[in-house]
């Protein structure tokens, strides 16, 4: 985002305070409601309980004049954030439990879900957004403008009234879906984050987020002792280095007594780490964990590691971390991406899930759509995350799902946690695409309750985000019933959302293909990109292996043997081409072009039909959305309509580029019952090397 657009975004946010709430998406799913009167009785007072009380007063949709009781009362069945809810009372062990209960009560009123007396506890203790925000205001893999925390660049340590207002809105939105933590800066961290001025800014942010229960964390550069501390080394076993970190963490807790801890990317992608000094990941993580122990802080140590000389990048995290199982302190959490490569549109789950039995492990999901069309493509990711969380690791027999292996129910662990890489920026609607908000929402809801269905989550989000009924200043002229709105907006839009991720997989990388993006921005297709100067595992041919015989990465026992990292029966299932799930076929097998698949068609024909199906689905999304015009405000209608047009053009580029390129190896015709390519391959190669075609 350029500077002038940034100023416009800030100005728009400020103007909202004075001219009412236009439907520009800034309110997300917390749009102002026409509230009924309610009498709220509280057993104590605190900033958090005041927020809970005000939320009820501003948004109550229950019985006119009802009395609601908010009560702190110890209940052994409740976790610290849990609550007991009924139509007219919320009971919790903590102030935050009451706040979460209020949001649950209001959500059910607004979506028409029945309210009965029940106890509700979160699936994970720590539910964290990872912001990849840099001190200069940019966001790595961010597509919604500059950072909401550091957007001033050189003057990013300043704090304005506008900042405080924006952070409060951000905290409120997070609290409404149970998110209780935020890492404020990029995992590729600047050592400056640990200097006095930046820590003071972290303190200021914390004070705004605290009443909403959002704890702050920061990412750190492992070599900070030598970079900003004046030491000759950053060896984690060096006594001077240990003392430096102890003093630095003590300094942080003097400023921020409830500071959450560090997120660490070390010995990865050129980032310094303990391996630079001949030490292990456990040596580095434990040194920091010991310094945090007196204060209750945690260390989240990322397992995203790979080197250029490994025969299969997908194997390395398992190879490095499994031998260290049981060696980490109980306030160290190993943070693992959902798949073994890198947030691809579809991957098998990382083999580390379940394999680490004596070490706390947390999933890392990516909300921002680095590999799924940025903020241009509509791609609801709840379906991806449910597929991941429900995957069976078989580590303790059938039913040992990824969710159970990380939420504390399968293994005895002190803390449970889950993280999502944020898609939030300074754009007025926070995420750059109205529908990208659904992924922020879905992450929070699944982090709170991973047993929720995608039907539930999408219906909630659509109703809260778009329903024109009982909304103050609604821009929609309501000359239709709620049933009409449900039939002509809610149901078709839900169908579109639930199909959207699979559509992206189809027109980008079907049947287990992965990481075949262009050289720039992880956006357009680039299966041909392979300059000699670039390390092989940063080029698409490393992953697709297309040749005259076939296509796909052989990870079977006779290939890289990545299948050996999975428990039986998965190991044998993935290893056998006849039993391997077809949506992961090319992930685990190099398959001949004429291989007959379950539908009787060749692999090549199936590849062609998938690419075409993805394109046709997006075109269908355009039709679905165009029909919703009478039921949604014009501002968001036209924004989404324009995005879908771009997505349709981009899907055409993906289909044409990939099929024309792979056809050079298959030497087989594109089936005649699907549309012909409309681009020339050489033109696509040139355009995607410069900038993704049709990218906005």
Q: What is the mean pLDDT of residues 600-621?
A: 98
Length of the chain: 696
CB 283 within 8 A of CB 236: yes
Q: What is the mean pLDDT of residues 235-241?
A: 98
Q: What is the mean pLDDT of residues 242-247?
A: 98
Cα 413 from Cα 405, distance rounded (Å): 10
pLDDT score recorded for residue 289: 98
138 Cβ contact list (under 8 Å, min separation 6) = 146, 147
- Whether residue 226 is predicted with pLDDT greater than 60 in this model: the reply is yes
> 294: which DSSP letter?
G
> Do 189 and 117 share a domain, yes or no?
no
2 lies in some domain: no
- Chain center to CA of 428: 20
Last-in-domain residue among 62, 97, 121: 121
- Chain center to CA of 607: 28
Comparing C-alpha atoms, which of 193, 148, 143, 141 is closest to residue 174?
148
CB 70 within 8 A of CB 49: yes
Cα 150 from Cα 146, distance rounded (Å): 8
- Whether residue 19 is predicted with pLDDT greater than 70 in this model: the reply is no
580 lies in some domain: no
- Sign of the alpha-carbon torsion through 628, 629, 630, 636: positive
Q: What is the mean pLDDT of residues 556-585?
A: 98
> Do 195 and 164 share a domain, yes or no?
yes
Catalytic residue among 118, 251, 258, 269: 269
The tokens describing 333, both together, are 């959490």
Element (H, E) at 316: helix 316-321
> Do 369 and 333 share a domain, yes or no?
yes
- Whether residue 694 is predicted with pLDDT greater than 80 in this model: the reply is no
Catalytic residue among 104, 320, 370, 554: 370
Q: Where is average pLDDT lowest: 12-26, 488-502, 662-676? A: 12-26
Q: pLDDT tens-digit profile of 330-378? A: 999 999 999 999 999 999 999 999 899 999 999 999 999 999 999 999 9
86 lies in some domain: yes
Q: pLDDT tens-digit profile of 405-463? A: 999 999 988 999 999 999 999 999 999 999 999 999 999 999 999 999 999 999 999 99
pLDDT score recorded for residue 689: 55
By percentage, how much of the chain surpasses pLDDT 90?
Answer: 90
Comparing C-alpha atoms, which of 70, 83, 72, 85 is closest to residue 38?
70
22 lies in some domain: no
> Do 143 and 195 share a domain, yes or no?
yes
- Whether residue 10 is predicted with pLDDT greater than 90 in this model: the reply is no
Q: Are strands 118-120 and 83-85 parallel, antiparallel or unpaired?
A: antiparallel
> Do 358 and 433 share a domain, yes or no?
yes
Q: Are strands 332-337 and 417-421 parallel, antiparallel or unpaired?
A: unpaired
Last-in-domain residue among 121, 154, 171: 121
Tally of domains in the chain: 3
> Do 302 and 166 share a domain, yes or no?
yes
488 lies in some domain: no
Comparing C-alpha atoms, which of 151, 186, 40, 44 is closest to residue 105?
40
Q: Looking at beta carbons, which pairs linking 116-120 to residues 24 or more positions away fall under 8 Å?
A: 116/86, 117/84, 117/85, 117/86, 118/84, 118/85, 119/75, 119/77, 119/78, 119/82, 119/83, 119/84, 120/82, 120/83, 120/84, 120/85, 120/449
> Do 424 and 530 share a domain, yes or no?
no
Longest dimension (CA), the chain: 75
Q: What is the mean pLDDT of residues 584-589?
A: 98
618 lies in some domain: yes
Q: Has 133 been annotated as catalytic?
A: no
The residue ranges of DSSP E strands in 124-242, in sequence order, are 126-130, 181-183, 215-220
The CATH number of residue 206's host domain is 3.20.20.80
568 lies in some domain: no
> Do 182 and 68 share a domain, yes or no?
no
**Mean residue pLDDT across the chain:** 94
Q: What pTM was estimated for this model as a whole? A: 0.95
Element (H, E) at 668: none
CB 25 within 8 A of CB 430: yes
Confidence of residue 154 (pLDDT cuts 50, 70, 90): low
The CATH number of residue 93's host domain is 3.30.379.10
Classify 392 as helix, strand or coil: strand
Decide which of 2 and 565 is more confident. Answer: 565
> Do 182 and 115 share a domain, yes or no?
no
Element (H, E) at 290: helix 281-292
Q: What is the mean pLDDT of residues 229-253?
A: 98
> Do 106 and 193 share a domain, yes or no?
no
CB 183 within 8 A of CB 217: yes
- Whether residue 614 is predicted with pLDDT greater than 50 in this model: the reply is yes
447 backbone φψ class: left, alpha, beta (φ>0; ψ -120 to 50): alpha
Cα 476 from Cα 392, distance rounded (Å): 45
522 Cβ contact list (under 8 Å, min separation 6) = 141, 370, 371
486 lies in some domain: no
- Which residue segment(s) compose the domain that 107 sits in? 31-121
CB 591 within 8 A of CB 460: no
The tokens describing 405, both together, are 């292996």
The tokens describing 183, both together, are 């890492």
Q: What is the mean pLDDT of residues 99-112?
A: 98
570 backbone φψ class: left, alpha, beta (φ>0; ψ -120 to 50): alpha
Cα 303 from Cα 522, distance rounded (Å): 21
User: What angle do the packed helices 437-448 and 382-389 form, to 10 degrees?
Assistant: 30
Last-in-domain residue among 121, 147, 169: 121
- Whether residue 2 is predicted with pLDDT greater than 70 in this model: the reply is no
Q: Where is average pLDDT lowest: 207-216, 399-408, 469-478, 574-583? A: 469-478
pLDDT score recorded for residue 162: 95
> Do 329 and 391 share a domain, yes or no?
yes
Q: What is the mean pLDDT of residues 280-303?
A: 98
**Burial call 261-284: b when 16+ CB within 10 Å, e when fewer:** bbbbbbbbeebbbbbbbebbbbbb
Q: Tell me how many degrees the CA angle 416-419-424 measures, rounded to the nearest 5.
A: 150
Cα 249 from Cα 292, distance rounded (Å): 7
Q: Has 484 been annotated as catalytic?
A: no
Q: Does the bond joining 569 to the residue before it have cis omega, within 30 degrees of 0?
A: yes
The CATH number of residue 540's host domain is 3.90.1330.10
> Do 548 and 638 share a domain, yes or no?
yes
pLDDT score recorded for residue 687: 81
Catalytic residue among 342, 427, 612, 633: 342
Q: Has 370 been annotated as catalytic?
A: yes
Confidence of residue 5 (pLDDT cuts 50, 70, 90): very low
576 Cβ contact list (under 8 Å, min separation 6) = none
pLDDT score recorded for residue 7: 39
């Amino acid at each position: 985002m350029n500077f002038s657009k940034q100023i416009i975004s800030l100005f728009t946010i400020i103007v909202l305070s004075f001219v009412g709430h236009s439907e520009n998406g800034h309110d997300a799913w917390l749009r102002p409601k026409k509230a009924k009167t309610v009498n709220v009785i509280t057993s104590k007072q605190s900033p958090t309980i005041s927020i809970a009380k005000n939320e009820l007063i501003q948004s109550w949709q229950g019985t006119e004049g009802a009395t609601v009781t908010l009560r702190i009362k110890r209940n052994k069945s409740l976790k610290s954030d849990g609550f007991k809810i009924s139509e007219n009372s919320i009971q919790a062990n903590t102030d935050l439990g009451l706040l979460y209960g209020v949001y649950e009560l209001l959500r059910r009123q607004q979506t028409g879900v029945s309210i009965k007396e029940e106890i509700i506890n979160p699936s994970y203790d720590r539910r964290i957004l990872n912001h990849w925000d840099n001190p200069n205001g940019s966001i790595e893999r961010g597509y919604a403008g500059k950072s909401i925390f550091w957007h001033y660049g050189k003057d990013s340590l300043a704090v304005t009234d506008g900042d405080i207002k924006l952070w409060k809105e951000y905290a409120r939105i997070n609290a409404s879906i149970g998110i209780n933590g935020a890492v404020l800066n990029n995992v590729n961290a600047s050592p400056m984050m640990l200097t006095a001025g930046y820590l003071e800014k972290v303190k200021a942010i914390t004070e705004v987020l605290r009443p909403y229960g959002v704890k702050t964390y920061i990412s750190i550069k492992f070599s900070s002792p030598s970079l900003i501390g004046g030491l000759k080394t950053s060896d984690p076993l060096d006594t001077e280095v240990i003392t430096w970190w102890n003093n630095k963490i003590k300094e942080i807790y003097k400023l921020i007594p409830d500071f959450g801890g560090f997120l660490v990317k070390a010995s990865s992608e050129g980032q310094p780490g303990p391996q630079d000094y001949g030490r292990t990941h456990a040596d580095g993580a434990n040194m920091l964990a010991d310094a945090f122990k007196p204060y209750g802080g945690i260390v989240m140590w990322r397992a995203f590691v790979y080197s250029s000389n490994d025969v299969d990048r997908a194997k390395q995290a398992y190879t490095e971390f499994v031998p260290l199982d049981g060696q980490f302190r109980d306030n160290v959490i190993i943070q693992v991406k959902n798949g073994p490569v890198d947030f691809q549109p579809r991957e098998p789950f990382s083999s580390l899930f379940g394999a680490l039995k004596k070490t706390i492990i947390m999933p890392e999901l990516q909300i921002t759509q680095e590999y799924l069309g940025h903020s241009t493509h509509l791609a609801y990711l709840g379906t991806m995350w449910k597929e991941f969380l429900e995957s069976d690791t078989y580590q303790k027999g059938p039913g040992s799902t990824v969710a159970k292996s990380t939420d504390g129910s399968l293994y005895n662990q002190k803390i449970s946690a889950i993280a999502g890489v944020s898609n939030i920026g300074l754009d007025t609607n926070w995420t750059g695409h109205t529908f990208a908000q659904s992924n922020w929402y879905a992450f929070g809801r699944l982090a709170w309750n991973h047993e929720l269905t995608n039907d539930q989550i999408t219906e909630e989000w659509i109703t809260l985000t778009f329903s024109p009924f009982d909304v103050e200043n609604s821009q929609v002229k309501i000359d239709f019933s709620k049933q009409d709105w449900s039939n002509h907006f809610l149901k078709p839009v839900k169908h579109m959302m639930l199909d959207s991720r699979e559509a992206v997989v189809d027109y980008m990388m079907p049947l287990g293909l992965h990481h075949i993006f262009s050289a720039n921005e992880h956006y357009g297709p680039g299966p041909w990109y392979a300059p000699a100067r670039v390390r092989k595992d940063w080029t698409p041919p490393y992953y697709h292996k297309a040749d005259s015989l076939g296509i796909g990465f052989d990870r079977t026992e006779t290939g890289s043997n990545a299948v050996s990292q999975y428990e039986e029966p998965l190991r044998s299932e993935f290893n056998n081409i006849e039993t391997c799930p077809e949506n992961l076929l090319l992930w685990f097998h190099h398959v001949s072009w004429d291989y007959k698949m379950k539908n009787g068609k060749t692999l090549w024909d199936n590849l062609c039909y998938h690419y075409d199906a993805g394109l046709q689905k997006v075109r269908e999304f355009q039709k679905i959305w165009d029909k919703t015009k009478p039921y949604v405000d014009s501002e968001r209608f036209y924004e989404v309509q324009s995005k879908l047009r771009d997505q349709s053009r981009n899907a055409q580029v993906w289909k044409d580029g990939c099929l024309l390129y792979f056809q050079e190896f298959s030497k087989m015709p594109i089936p005649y019952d699907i549309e012909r390519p409309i681009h020339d391959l050489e033109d696509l190669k040139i355009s995607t090397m410069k900038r993704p075609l049709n990218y906005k």
